[in-house]
Chains A and B, each alone.
Chain A
Amino acid sequence: MSEQNLRSHVGPYFGEFGGRFVPESLIAALDELEATYNTAKADPSFAAELAELHRTYTGRPSIITEAKRFAEHCGNDVRVFLKREDLNHTGSHKINNVIGQALLTKRMGKTRIIAETGAGQHGVASATAAALFGLECVVYMGEVDTERQALNVARMKLLGAEVIPVTTGSKTLKDAINEALRDWVANVENTHYLLGTVAGPHPFPTMVRDFHSVIGTEARQQMLDEFGFLPTALAACVGGGSNAIGLFHAFLDDSDVKMFGFEAAGDGMGTPRHAATLNYGRPGVLHGARSYMLQDEDGQTMESHSISAGLDYPGVGPEHSWLKDLGRVEYRGISDAEAMDALRLLSRTEGIIPAIETAHALAGVIKLGKELPAGSSILVNLSGRGDKDMETAGKYFGLLDAAKEAQA
């Protein structure tokens, strides 16, 4: 493993995963995107423009916070470090990718972006970039998600985006991607599909990863500069896999650094209601790439279940499938209940309310800390803040009833 140079790997294929399983109508657009991206990548002025936007708009670099009181709940003598992507403008890591792709949209001369969103964070980030760059923006969002993330729907609308609730299929993220792909096929001439995670056809998995790799690149340097060592382990939640790969990528060839991805296990591992694609899925083709996915024996995509809209997806990015099969990253499941407990714990020990997605990684850290040798350190991607989840959390913990009672 340590001989391998995993970091330099790019698509279209990650081992047997990846590729471009899309209608021919989209190939010209994917080719154009790939060419534009490759040109931009080789152009120092693109990197400079992106870095300047991150400095003056996103708020990068994001800081690292050591979570000492939280760490007391994570086994003996374990240190926990939070990479604070929640402090980015718009409240999550999603903006890293969005700013990058919005710049590419400009370079391609396109005037309209479309996006899918589950939790609404990617939709909000896309609507934000559209406002900043003067682009038209349409966001597809499963009807179920528009309900559980109503605040983010309002944010997107305020930012000037049109939000289209998707009522087909399971009415969640997977169906929002289908609708966005249909829109793209019809409007590809003036429209860029600003895909929000490391899934989809090439070049998306590679390109979105590259835009998020700033997370790990910064964090690695910060660990060395501020603490003088690299962490024993990395932890991140995995929906499509963008925040996880963003953290992992810079460390892939540090063979001493263990990596853990935490998927949503919904009702729990071993139950039928979950979104633990890498644990319970098998390879297939979904949304343009070959990767692990949840499917029945006929290859029909199965519905996933999670309290977290952003992890409620039956697919996963192809690079994660590859890293799983290589054994470089271990993927585990975290139930709704475990995630919600971790959400409350971080809130009460550190004064940081994480997104429910992120809480899956934190619940993983609580378990992991107890398995790792004493003196270990865990760097976790705090991928987003929990403001958007107050409705769900309020209901879950019965806080809204209490608020009503207090009023009465």
Chain B
Amino acid sequence: MTSKTSATLKANKAAGDGNLIGYFPAGYPTLEGSIEASIAMCQNGVDVLELGVPYSDPVMDGIVIQEATMVALNNGFKLKQTFDAVRAITAKVNTPVLVMTYWNPVLQYGIENFARDLVAAGGAGLITPDLIPDEAKEWLEISDKYELDRVFLGTPSSSPERMKTACDLSRGFVYAVSTMGITGARDEVDANARKVVAKVREASSTANTAVGIGISTADQVVEVNSYSDGAIVGSAFVRAYSEGGVEALKAKTIELSARLKK
């Protein structure tokens, strides 16, 4: 089973380049706005897009993403529009699109319905921040059936056994959580990030791993790429868009990706 996400990450690394994985919430500020923003990110240096599903109780998210997803919900975002967004984005760009979603919306939509509609829309898979492999039996089966990526999290506190499980069961990449905390820009990317990546490498010789949580500057993106397979940026993109619209978002994407490509 080939994962387009994995192939993209590996190809860039093999060429000596780094990877930038960019998060943007679907429906923020409107469905059309989020599609335009996501396409702009993909066209200006984001290698893998992480499209967020707005959710009422986002416990892994800091205030910037909470506020943006709340705007999306208040503007009437409906879950089905996730697929409209994925379809519109993948029609314009060839970037792999992963949907990042808390688990309850998928459960309510029906796991298999969600997988089927995601494939039909051209999506690559799911990042599931509150679904651990232990609870994912059904999703493992269905993601195999539909050949979707599934990204589980590895953290500074994950035991070696759990890290191995995350590596063995993830497809696309393993989300290395850089620090014990929630999303949001931080001045320094924790020394923990290196340790987490080292744990992933110990657990698996083949799994890709990208580092997320707290990354907001070009220096951090370059640094993280020196020892991992990619940097994941969310709040910094959302903040740029909130402050300056698509133009500011483009500029932020160029700023963060410029030094990754030869």
Which residue of A186, A298, A300 contacts B182 across the interface (Cβ within 8 Å)?
A186
Q: Is the CB of B57 within 8 A of A298?
A: no
B134 sits at the interface (CB 8 A): yes
- State the total of A-B contacts with C-beta under 8 angstroms: 107
Q: Is the CB of B108 within 8 A of A20?
A: no
Known: A178-B57, A286-B104, A298-B78. A188 touches B157 (CB 8 A): yes
Residues from 235 to 282 in A contacting B, C-beta threshold 8 Å = none
Contacts of B156 in A (CB 8 A): 25
Residues from 19 to 34 in A contacting B, C-beta threshold 8 Å = 19-25, 27-29, 31
Contacts of A299 in B (CB 8 A): 55, 79, 104-109
Q: Is the CB of A20 within 8 A of B135?
A: yes
Known: A29-B157, A181-B59, A299-B79. A21 touches B135 (CB 8 A): yes
Contact with A along B49-72 (1 / 0, CB 8 A): 000000111111011001000100
Q: Is the CB of B131 within 8 A of A21?
A: yes
Contacts of A286 in B (CB 8 A): 57, 104
Q: Is the CB of A21 within 8 A of B182?
A: no
CB distance from A15 to the nearest CB of B (A): 15
CB distance from B127 to the nearest CB of A (A): 12
Contact with A along B116-142 (1 / 0, CB 8 A): 000000000000011110110000000
A348 sits at the interface (CB 8 A): no
Complex CA distance for A287 and B55, rounded to whole angstroms: 13
Contacts of B182 in A (CB 8 A): 182, 185-186
Known: A168-B66, A286-B57. A186 touches B180 (CB 8 A): yes
CB distance from B33 to the nearest CB of A (A): 19
Which residue of B79, B103, B159, B180 contacts A189 across the interface (Cβ within 8 Å)?
B180
Q: Is the CB of B79 within 8 A of A298?
A: yes
Contacts of B153 in A (CB 8 A): 23-25
Interface centre among A288, A295, A300 (most CB of B within 10 A): A300
A285 sits at the interface (CB 8 A): yes
Contacts of B134 in A (CB 8 A): 20
| Residue of chain A at shortest CB distance from B61 | A182
Q: List 18 A-B contacts (CB under 8 A).
A: A21-B103, A21-B132, A21-B135, A23-B60, A24-B177, A25-B153, A28-B155, A168-B70, A178-B57, A185-B59, A188-B157, A284-B108, A286-B57, A287-B59, A298-B78, A299-B104, A299-B108, A300-B105
